[in-house]
């Protein structure tokens, strides 16, 4: 997860494409973008929704709850350096996209 991030180019492209199609860019998170961005998260958080080694499952959270959790890291109300760093780096659009994507995943059982 360190090193160069090719995300910015991709994101501008998506934003550009969305603006061309006149789509509601900010109305809801872009699930496809969220899935793309989530590759950074799945190194730790399992997509299966299983908790592994003290890392909580993050699938199936309602989007607003997901955003509140990430906000708590960004504003350092929650104390976890890794998540604070990750949350602080995300743009609003990326956060909405991740929230939409993870909301759409079903927890197991
Ligand atoms: C290097 C490992 C790692 C990566 C990468 C990572 N996380 Fe986390 N995440 C954690 C750990 C560990 C916790 C538990 C922290 C704590 O105790 O507050 C956590 C907690 C969370 C929580 C709170 C879950 C809950 O129910 O309390 C959310 C939401 C979350 N991460 C989202 C993400 C997203 C979105 C990404 C990708 C952009 C991501 N994480 C990437 C390790 C990681």
Atom of ligand 1 nearest to the CA of 43: 5
The top-level CATH class assigned to 29-104 is mainly alpha
What residues are paired with 55 via a beta bridge?
52
pTM score: 0.80
**Confidence check: pLDDT of 16 > 80:** no
Report the C-alpha gap between 2 and 85 in whole angstroms: 12
Question: And the tokens for 69?
Answer: 């959790």
Whether pLDDT at 1 is above 60: no
User: Using a 6 Å cutoff on CB, does residue 58 contact ligand 1?
Assistant: yes
Average pLDDT over residues 62-80: 97
Domain boundaries, the chain: 29-104
- For ligand 1, say whether the CB of 86 is within 6 Å of any of its atoms: yes
Quote the ligand 1 centre to 41 CA distance (angstroms). 7
């Amino acid at each position: 997860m360190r090193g160069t991030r090719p995300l910015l180019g991709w994101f501008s492209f998506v934003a550009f494409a969305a603006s061309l199609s006149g789509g509601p860019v900010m109305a809801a998170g872009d699930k496809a973008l969220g899935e793309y961005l989530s590759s950074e998260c799945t190194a730790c958080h399992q997509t299966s929704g299983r908790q592994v080694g003290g890392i909580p499952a993050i699938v199936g959270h309602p989007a607003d709850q997901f955003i509140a959790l990430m906000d708590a890291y960004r504003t350092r109300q929650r104390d976890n350096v890794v998540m604070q760093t990750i949350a602080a780096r995300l743009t609003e659009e990326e956060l909405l996209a991740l929230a939409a994507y993870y909301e759409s995943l079903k927890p197991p059982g």
